[in-house]
Amino acid sequence: MKRQGTLSMAKKILYAEDDGDMLDIVSEFMQFEDYEVVTDNGKTIKKKLKQHQIGLILLDENLNWGWGSDLCRELRADKETAGIPIVLISALRDIDKIAEQCGATTYIRKPFDIYDVIDVVNLHYLPQ
């Protein structure tokens, strides 16, 4: 509940996912947890990171144009984005190894319970 007369600064996360239904579900639940969710299909993620103060990135591994882990490596190699926690999300059996190899902070295996996502975000979110 927001108090009148105070400015509430939402915690911002960026969610890169090309499945619209998944984007909607996760975004809606994260908003209930007082997170503002900036969404992207992964192609303009660097632009959005420059436009917003992001405290965590949720990154789908299997984007229809490429791999989230490749994007994760690029973000880790850039000094501007290297410190942002990245949570890789995938149904791939070896997502744990993929996340470790690309430098992701952690991973979430699909199918997931939305409360597991909330717990992981709350645990790794880096206040801005």
Check whether 128 has a pLDDT greater than 90.
no
Q: What percent of the chain has pLDDT over 90?
A: 91
User: 3-state SS string over 34-76?
Assistant: CEEEEEECCCCHHHHHHHCCCCCEEEECEECCEEHHHHHHHHH
Q: Is residue 19 part of a domain?
A: yes
Would residue 128 count as lying in a domain?
A: no
Q: Is the pLDDT of residue 6 over 50?
A: no
Residue 3 within any structural domain of the chain:
no
Residue pLDDT, tens place only, 76-108 = 999 999 999 999 999 999 999 999 999 999 999
The answer to whether position 93 is within a domain reads yes
Q: What is the pLDDT of residue 10?
A: 77
Six-digit token string for 15: 């969610």
- For 76, the domain range is 11-123
User: Quick check: is 4 in a domain?
Assistant: no
Residue 102 lies in a domain: yes
Flag whether 5 is in a domain: no
pLDDT of residue 9: 64
Q: For the segment 17-57, what is each residue's pLDDT rounded down to a tens digit?
A: 999 999 999 999 999 999 999 999 999 999 999 999 999 99
Determine how β-strand 66-67 pairs with β-strand 62-63: antiparallel
- Cβ-count burial 41-61 (b if 16+ within 10 Å, e if not): bbeebeebbeeeebbbbbbbb
Number of structural domains found in the chain: 1
Q: CB of 109 within 8 A of CB of 77?
A: no
pTM metric for this prediction: 0.92
- CATH number of domain containing 45: 3.40.50.2300
Q: Is the pLDDT score of 7 beyond 50?
A: no
